[in-house]
Amino acid sequence: MHAPAAAEPLGADAAVMVGGDAPAVPVAGRRRAPRALIAAATVGPLLVLLPVALTFWRALSFGIGDAVELLWRPLVGELLVNTLTITVAGTLACAVVGTALAWFVERTDVPGRRLWGLLAAAPLAMPAFVTSYAWVSLSQDLQDFAGALLVITTAYFPLVYLPVAAALRGLDPSLEECARVLGCNRWTTFTRVVLPQLRPALFGSMLLVALGVMSEFGAFALLRFRTFTTEIYAEYRTSFDGGGASLLASVLILLCLVGVAVEFRVRGKARYARVDRGVRRAPRRVALGRWRWPLAAAFAVLNVVTLGVPLAMIGYWLTQPGAAAVTVADVSAPLLLSTTFTSLWFGLLAACFTTLLALPLASLLVRYPGRFATVAERIAFVSQGMPGLVVALAIVSLAVRALQPLYQGTTLLIVAYAILFLPLALVSVRAALLQSQQRLEDAARSLGLGRFETLRRVVLPLASPGLGAAASMVFISVVTELNATLLLAPIGTQTLATQVWADTTTLAFAAAAPYAALLTGLSLVGSGLLFVFAGRSALARAASG
């Protein structure tokens, strides 16, 4: 999941606003970055390029004729239609639900709005394949497109809700008042003033949802909804390192890269900076009158669907003996312990490694901005569009050819995680490094601190909450990751995610429940850490003005 990244880049960039009369900040004279830093910063982007290049290279090893024959099949057409329809429908559904919820929570007097706002972020802690496990175990009829749309919407709408709600909070209420005075009613004010300003947040988050849906594998596989990812996995299972999987993967990568390119465009366009400065009053909430309670009821129903049913199903299966499920399988305490430990261990390793990988690139971006840094950053962000399955496939294919001793080892799995979650870490680490501005370091130096002392007493204390946030985001993502783990985990090693997967695919619902519960719990702990770090980092930002 690329979950928290959706909220972060918008928030982080929004902090840099353009003031009307503010003189341009003088840019420190262009200095050359140290070679070592450039070299270190290049590692991440190169790692990201590796699977893309490998996949295309493998696909190109087919003759044109063979490739056309393989791709020009009704099956591929069906996959394309399925993948595109679920992506479009899921993205639109998330946009509508997320935006509507954000508006009602931020701009009306709907009862319990703080609670709804908090609960709206909660589905992020539950990966889509766990949600679909819950629904499938409720009723096996819930499959195919309808089920997929339901699960996708409940799992991904927070990606729209969070940035749109933040954008709504950042909107100057006097803009809406001006529109009213100039003759707009409530609805035209929304369409002519509010919506255009939400557009960057909304488009950006919709693209993240679209990328997430295109890369989604576990949920679709459990719901027996065939998309490129499920077919690539099936192809991999039948022919292992055959070329068919990489040919399909190339098509998927192309689709995703289009998404990434569009996202770059949207993000590149100047965010609407607030034109004014100074204090603002809180927006006046719309009184809903007799619609207050019906709307609150509607939100309650929404939460029953997004959180209630999945949690209740996990809870239900926890209390059932293994025999109650379709397939009988019992939970063994040692396995539970070892999977939890493995998930934790992988999560921690990947969190440290990815944050370290992001650090040189982030310092290059912050300290030596320029063409090179920007290109490196963009390449790193390409991995947002890379499904875990595709990355894992490419690494498998590299390992069997060139890195035989590393194959089926932990190292390659951690590298795969780092490739997948580098953008997440990069956003936070960069924001963290921005906390410590040059003038603070100058002040420290003028007070007699040496270079190292400045680092230890000024830069690190300011940056550490942000680094912690980066690590916790990677941790959450790794713990809930399924695709790459399935393909790359050492033989015989199970994580919580792969165990949920294994038990669910064999319809052993009761056996899967404890793993699903622990997985969600771990992910919630990670989110809690993230909130603490994010809060501390906001504090540091406020203090450093």
Partner 1 sequence: MSELHITGLGKSFDEHVALRGIDLAVQAGTLLALLGPSGSGKTTLLRVLCGFERADTGSIEISGRRVAADGLHLPPEQRRIGYVPQEGALFPHLSVADNIVFGLPPARRHARHRVAELLELVGLPATYADRAPQQLSGGQQQRVALARALAPEPGVVMLDEPFSSLDAALRVETRNAVVTALAASGATAILVTHDQEEALSLGDEVAVLWQGRLLQTASPETLYRRPVSREIAGFVGDAMLFPGTAADRRVRCALGTLPLAADQHPAEGAVDVMVRPEQIVLSAADGVDASVCEVTFLGRDLMVVCELGDAEATRVRARVPGYRTPRVGDRVRIAVAGDVCVYPR
> Looking at beta carbons only, is 20 or 492 nearer to partner 1?
20
Core vs surface per residue 507-545: b (16+ CB within 10 A) or e: bbbbbbbbbbbbbbebbebbbebbeebbeebeebbeeee
For residue 96, the minimal CB distance to partner 1 (Å) is 21
Closest CB 13 distance from partner 1, rounded Å = 15
Entry field: residues in the chain: 545
Least distance between partner 1 and beta carbon 110 (Å): 20
Q: Rule CB under 8 A: which of 270-289 touch partner 1?
A: 270, 272-278, 284
CB nearer to partner 1: give 18 or 301. Answer: 18
Q: Is 180 in the site for partner 1 (CB under 8 A)?
A: yes
Rg of the chain over Cα atoms, rounded to whole angstroms, equals 24
Instruction: Confirm or reject binding of residue 23 to partner 1 (CB under 8 A).
Output: no
Does residue 175 interact with partner 1 by CB under 8 A? yes
269 binds partner 1 (CB under 8 A): no
181 sits near partner 1 (criterion: CB under 8 A): yes
| Selected range binding partner 1 among 79-87, 265-273, 335-343, 462-470, rule: CB under 8 A | 265-273
Residues 191-210 binding partner 1 (CB under 8 A) are: 192-193, 196-197, 199
User: Would you list the DSSP string of 335-402?
Assistant: HHHHHHHHHHHHHHHHHHHHHHHHHHHHHHHHHS-SHHHHHHHHHHHHGGGS-HHHHHHHHHHHHHHT
Contact 326, 506 (CB under 8 A): no
Q: Is 535 in the site for partner 1 (CB under 8 A)?
A: no
Burial of 292 (0-12, 13-18, 19+ CB in 10 A): middle
Q: Nearest distance from residue 105's CB to partner 1, in Å? A: 22
Pick the closer one to partner 1 by CB: 72 or 187.
187
Q: Report residue 324 CA to chain centroid gap.
A: 35
Nearest to 155 by CA among 224, 235, 75, 216: 216
> What's the DSSP call for residue 405?
G
For residue 526, the minimal CB distance to partner 1 (Å) is 36
Residue by residue, DSSP assigns 29-80 as: PP-PPPHHHHHHHHHHHHHHHHHHHHHHHHHHTS-HHHHHHHHSSHHHHHHH
13 binds partner 1 (CB under 8 A): no
Q: How many CA atoms lie within 13 A of 289 on its CB side?
A: 0
The residue (of 178 and 305) whose beta carbon lies closer to partner 1 is 178
Contact flag: residue 20 with partner 1 (CB under 8 A): yes
Question: Are 48 and 382 contacting, i.e. CB atoms less than 8 angstroms apart?
Answer: yes
For 181, list phi and psi in degrees, rounded to 5: -65, -30
Q: How far is the CB of 416 from partner 1 (least distance, A)?
A: 41
* Torsional sign, CA 192, 13, 43, 395: negative
Distance CA 441, CA 543 (A): 15
Contact between 178 and partner 1 by CB under 8 A: the answer reads yes
Instruction: Work out how close the CB of 179 gets to partner 1 at its nearest, in angstroms, rounded to a whole number.
Output: 7
- Name residue 390's beta-bridge partners: none
Identify which of residues 179 and 422 has a Cβ nearer to partner 1 in the complex.
Answer: 179
Nearer to partner 1, 19 or 535 (CB): 19
At residue 182, what are phi and psi to the nearest 5 degrees? -85, 10
CB nearer to partner 1: give 193 or 473.
Answer: 193
CB of 191 to partner 1, least distance (A): 12
184 binds partner 1 (CB under 8 A): yes
Candidates 61, 140, 174, 191; binder of partner 1 (CB under 8 A) is: 174
Q: Which of 1, 281, 3, 308 is nearest to 162 (CA)?
A: 3
- Residues 368-427 binding partner 1 (CB under 8 A) are none
Applying CB under 8 A, does 26 fall inside the site for partner 1? Answer: no
Q: How many CA atoms lie within 13 A of 57 on its CB side?
A: 11
CB of 109 to partner 1, least distance (A): 15
Please report how close the Cβ of residue 171 comes to partner 1 at its closest, in angstroms: 10
CA distance linking residue 378 with residue 466, whole number of Å: 21
| Residue among 174 and 438 whose Cβ is closer to partner 1 | 174
Per CB under 8 A, 367 contacts partner 1: no
Residue 177 engages partner 1 in binding (rule: CB under 8 A): yes
Q: Which stretch binds partner 1 (CB under 8 A): 173-181, 318-326, 404-412, 512-520?
A: 173-181
Q: Is residue 325 within 8 Å of residue 509, measured between CB atoms? A: yes
* Selected range binding partner 1 among 120-128, 183-191, 234-242, 472-480, rule: CB under 8 A: 183-191
Nearer to partner 1, 192 or 451 (CB): 192
Least distance between partner 1 and beta carbon 268 (Å): 16
Residues 97, 84: Cα–Cα separation, whole Å: 20
The residue among 66 and 276 lying less far from partner 1, judged by its C-beta, is 276
Is 168 among the residues that bind partner 1 (CB under 8 A)? no
Cα–Cα distance measured from residue 398 to residue 413, given in angstroms and rounded to the nearest whole number: 13
| Contact window for partner 1 (CB under 8 A) among 4-12, 13-21, 321-329, 502-510 | 13-21
- Check residue 185 for interaction with partner 1 (CB under 8 A): yes
- Asked whether position 169 contacts partner 1 by CB under 8 A, the answer is no
- 415 close to 346: Cβ distance less than 8 angstroms: no
Binding of partner 1 by 14 (CB under 8 A): no
How far are the Cα atoms of 42, 50, 55, 395 from residue 402, in angstroms, in the given order? Answer: 22, 13, 15, 10
166 versus 175: smaller Cβ distance to partner 1 = 175
| Cβ-based neighbour number of residue 457 at 10 Å | 13
How many residues interact with partner 1 (rule CB under 8 A)? 29
Q: Which residues bind partner 1 (CB under 8 A)?
A: 18, 20-21, 172, 174-175, 177-185, 192-193, 196-197, 199, 270, 272-278, 284
